[in-house]
Amino acid sequence: MDYPPDWEQRSAWEDGLEVIDSLLMPGSATAAAMSDRQRNGLNRLKSMLLSGGGSESMFNHIPLALLAEENASNDVLLSVFAGYSRPEDPGRSFKQIIAAHKVAKKLRVMASNRRLRHLTSSFGTFLPAQWMQLDHAAQLKLRDLLAWENLSRWDFDMFEVDKVVKGKHTLVLVAWAILASPQAQYAMDLACQEIPNHRNGPAPTSLADRKGYRFIDQFGIEAESLLEFLQAIENRYVDTPYHNKVHAADVTQSLHSILQMGGEKYASEKPLELFAVLLASVIHDVGHPGTNNLYHVNAKSDIAIRYNDLSVLENMHIATAFEIIMGTNREEKADILASFTEEQKNSIRSLVIKAVLATDMTKHFSKKNLIKGLLLNKVAAEDPTSLAKDDLSRHEILSFMLHLADISNPAKIIQTGSQWTDRVLEEFFLQGDKESGLGLPISPLCDRKTTSRPQSQIGFITFIVLPAYEVLGQLVPRVSTEVVPIITDNLKYWKEQKRLETEAENDDTDGT
């Protein structure tokens, strides 16, 4: 398959901004020929485009190549990442698939809350009960995996953590290691010194000399409340193939890694904003039933009705999390915001809502273009961190980072990324099976008989992941040098897999 040149991967919105910039370029013939009124008018138009980047017609943000070539792969990307469908054609099966169907479907009952126990050690630090339940070998291994330096790596292996803890409490332990850093790492080091045959090792680095967010100290968060909250959230994650507690842990760690690469410079009000966006990563998919927004809207499910078909799952995730710590059914022991002022609580809630809503995939193109628009500002182009001075810009950037952490699977080494690919496709296929059983047309990528594994990744990387991470690389330079090359290598890998798949299909055809 031939892929479009770079200009075709731009949207009409991006192209329009570049044309305006070319006309206004100092010293150009066009700029010289304009009157002051014309120059001021174009500058005003540019400002309106930049400030309204997230609210412009979704159509204007879509890469032209996706609109130009009509095929099933492009239609999937348009539907999932722009919420856009082509004008209706009775002969097109894709349009039939996304046509509305009234099917009553209630969400499965969430797992009941389990009360959490924790241990306060003789050193005056704490360890979660989930860590204490591991055998000594697992404790030593987990201590190394969750060390600050390892936890901050882009090639961190979440599957290894899940293996060590035998699939239990992966989210609790990873989120605890991040949100309670550096106390969490210090506590593990001290406890491991008490393990037989490890008592004569070097003394752990002092708590004062360790790297970490130090949210516990700065906000007076109770260790028990943090662990109660994390356990309550983990309990509400459903055991689906992909959108489960392991995915939540992976997104939290990926966001943490982006922040440590330099992303935290965009949190001027840190540590409050850092805490808020990391909290958003922990809860961003809580209660996900394994079926997407389109399914719920078409099926007119309970949550689609409740949230008026708008970012259905994202709104549900946010409400599920905040119902634990706010409202009439608040769980006092799990209230991690109890020590915050009302102003701080409001700020945290506002940013968490914004960040989780930004994970709605249909908003992808407009969100990416909004960030590109911010970077077109001359001052921002020279020093992107200057954007941190503006509240709106800063929060858009932090939300964008969470969104990219959420779609980071193709940005990880292929040994890891391919495992995530298999998991998400299996979840899609289960949705397709459910649709088939209900008499519904099967949604894009959800037919296990026809979906091409490599093709699903080629389109995803080409139009979604790679362009977005290139934008992130302008904000966080290490992303350009450390992450983007992995994405381009993965794209080559999937193209080769597609070639092999096509050859195998042709051989089968020749054989018949």
Active-site positions?
243
SS3 label, residue 74: helix
DSSP letter, residue 201: S
CA dist., res. 357 & res. 264, Å (int): 20
Q: Token pair of 304, please?
A: 């689609």
Helix (H, G, I), strand (E, B) or coil at 503: helix
Count of beta carbons in the 10 Å neighbourhood of residue 20: 16
Question: SS3 of 85, please?
Answer: coil
Using the structure block, give the residue that is written with the tokens 């930004």: 358
- Cα 252–Cα 267–Cα 217 angle in degrees, nearest 5: 75
Q: How many CB atoms lie within 10 A of CB 441?
A: 18
Question: C-alpha distances in angstroms, 481 versus 413, 470, 478, 484?
Answer: 14, 10, 5, 6
- Angle, vertex CA 154, rays to CA 152 and CA 160, nearest 5: 85
Q: What is the DSSP letter of 5?
A: -
- In DSSP notation, 419-463 reads HHHHHHHHHHHHHHHHHHHTTPPPPTT--TTT--HHHHHHHHIII
Residues 253/151, Cβ–Cβ less than 8 Å: yes
Q: How far apart are CA 138 and CA 133, in angstroms?
A: 10
Helix (H) or strand (E) holding 506: helix 484-511
Q: Which has the closest alpha carbon to 160: 173, 179, 178?
A: 173
